[in-house]
Structure 1
Amino acid sequence: MFEFLKRRLKSEKGSMDRILVTFFLIVLGIAIVAGLQFWMQKKSPSLGNSLIKSQSLEEKVSSKNI
């Protein structure tokens, strides 16, 4: 497989650039997914607290209307 890759790199002009750009895009995609996952884990408790607060407010409003 490495021989095939070496031959392709020698025969095609600009193929190394394509490989580097592809590698960069893969690394960038992994970093974006990892960052988004970390951000969502950090935000999850605050989202849960907001939901609990809104439910308690709804209960207070509904009990006052009765």
Structure 2
Amino acid sequence: MKYTIVIQWSEADNCFVVFLPDFESVMQPVTHGDTYDEALQNAQEVLSLLTELDDGKLPKPQPLLQIA
């Protein structure tokens, strides 16, 4: 499955924070990194763990933007 990963800089935390919109019920933000690449790698690891624990209740990936 393909899930959306949102990475943005946080001045307050002085790092890149990662949001997984499809997993809002888990926690937000879900991870972070000192660099963009580190944040992306951490996000991929979190997604891997979440999907490995699939008990048939994974959320359906939703498009972040819908183009009409």
Task: Provide TM-score, normalisation by structure 2.
Answer: 0.32
Which has the higher Rg, Structure 1 or Structure 2? 1
Higher helix share: 1
TM-score (norm 1): 0.33
Q: Which has the higher contact order (CA 8 A, sep 6+)?
A: 2
